[in-house]
Amino acid sequence: MVTTGNVRTVGIEEELLLVDSESRTTSPRSQAALKAHQDRRGTEDEPTTAADDLDQELFRHQLETRTDPVTDLADAHDQLRAARRTAGEAARAAGVAAVACGVVPYGDLAPRVSPDERYRAMLDVYGDIARSGGTCGMHVHVGIDSAEEGVGVLDRIGPWLPVLLAATANSPFAGGRDTGYASWRSEVWGRWPSAGVTEEFGSPEGYERACRDLVATGAARDEGMLYFDARLSTGQPTVEVRVFDVCTDPADAVLVAALVRGLVSWAAERHRAGAPVDRPRAELLRAAKWRAARYGLTERLVDPRAPELRPAAEVLGGLVELTRPWLEQAGDVDLVTDGVPRVLRSGGATRQRAAFERACGAPDGRSSVDDAVRAVVDDLVARSEGVWSAVRPDGA
């Protein structure tokens, strides 16, 4: 396990949209942004962190950022802010803006694939599923001791992943309208044949067998396309939890990272103790995930402890209590107790809908749905590159 003392490391990856400031829809300018970034990097000699790097994604309207593995989540927050600056500077050099949002809110998307043979092959094989795959998620990596521990974790955390999805739900608008979902990205991403909820694997051998079978059937082209809600990372000693929308506010991302680390630590302890896996059927897990995507934290969610529908605040509070010993160990209790009321009050989807309502009631008479969704994009641009940088999660 990658740790400092007994605290597990955490790394965060984010996918960002590139948006044209005039049209408010996405722009296929990732290659120009990456070139501008590399040109700037070529003039700098100081040591860099992962936050100084950018990667291409499946489509040219996306960029990917990441942090280094850290144990102090204040450092993760600082790196997320730095990564947003890196992406924002590169995007502006290419004439666009970098935006943290789960799906394209406005305009019809005719995506252009990045210049990579693997990506082109994915488009050839998966057709319109791949064409709709230009959504933006967040992936949280948590250090583990071994593949055996990692599979023990995967088998135990699944019932709690829907409430964490609800906490990051940040994609209500798509194609210029309100989809009715808090996380439309989750529904779109779920079209991939290898995506979503998994059954119990039981052992590393069971995990590897399931992966091989999916690749053999063509449901995944390779291990990188195993889009489980949580999986063992390829090439890193981590569990990678992938169920989330990218958050516009990095403080929300860090809150979720703290809860994921606590949940992984809880599950690893259960695995070491030989406790049985208490896991509902996959049908119920899919229903719980759908409900989280539909309502976010604004309605009742499936409580893994029952399971039955209970208020979102109660279910999220249950996760905090479940993970509290490990939150205390990592020094994350204050971060979580401050952050949970914030996302309950005003998560990503709620903020987007509030921007829509403000635009509809603007004194200049702007009231069309079209203009109001454009205003949502403007708000996302401002918050992705502006308001989010004001406060660290530890109050510094």
pLDDT value, residue 14: 96
How far apart CA 165 and CA 13 sit, in angstroms, is 15
pLDDT value, residue 133: 66
User: What's the chain's average pLDDT?
Assistant: 90
Residue 288 resides in a domain: yes
Counting residues of the chain whose pLDDT is more than 90, the rounded percentage is 71
Over 80: is that where the pLDDT of 111 sits?
Answer: no
How far apart CA 363 and CA 257 sit, in angstroms, is 40
Q: What CATH number does residue 241 fall under? A: 3.30.590.20
The pTM of this model reads 0.92
Q: How far is CA 11 from CA 71, 147, 359, in A?
A: 9, 18, 36
Tens digit of pLDDT for each residue in 160-172? Answer: 999 999 999 999 9
How far apart CA 142 and CA 240 sit, in angstroms, is 7
Q: Which residues contact 372 (CB under 8 A, 6 or more apart)?
A: 356, 357, 359, 360, 366
Averaged pLDDT for residues 144-163: 98
115: preceding bond cis by omega (within 30 degrees): no
Tens digit of pLDDT for each residue in 301-313? Answer: 999 998 899 999 9
Higher pLDDT, 55 or 229: 229
Total tally of structural domains belonging to the chain: 1
Residue 395 resides in a domain: no
Give the angle subtended at the CA of 307 by the CAs of 303 and 308, to the nearest 5°: 75
Q: How confident is the model at residue 107 (pLDDT cuts 50, 70, 90)?
A: confident
Higher pLDDT, 30 or 45: 30
Over 80: is that where the pLDDT of 5 sits?
Answer: no
Residue 394 resides in a domain: no
How far apart CA 53 and CA 185 sit, in angstroms, is 25
Range of the structural domain that residue 63 is part of: 3-389
Residue 396 resides in a domain: no
For the chain, strand residue ranges (E) read: 3-4, 7-8, 10-19, 55-56, 62-66, 97-99, 137-143, 173-174, 177-178, 230-232, 238-245, 300-303, 308-311
Over 60: is that where the pLDDT of 60 sits?
Answer: yes
Question: Of the given ranges (44-53, 139-148, 248-257, 271-280), which has the lowest mean pLDDT?
Answer: 44-53
pLDDT value, residue 46: 63
Residue 263 resides in a domain: yes
Dihedral, CA of residue 204, residue 210, residue 214 and residue 217, to nearest 10: 130
Residue 248 resides in a domain: yes
Q: What does the DSSP assignment read for 245-256? A: EPPSSHHHHHHH
pLDDT value, residue 287: 97
Tens digit of pLDDT for each residue in 199-237? Answer: 999 999 999 999 999 999 999 988 888 999 999 998 899
Question: Of the given ranges (260-274, 322-336, 354-368), which has the lowest mean pLDDT?
Answer: 354-368
Residue 120 resides in a domain: yes
Residue 143 resides in a domain: yes
pLDDT value, residue 157: 98
Secondary structure (3-state) at 207: helix
How far apart CA 396 and CA 384 sit, in angstroms, is 20
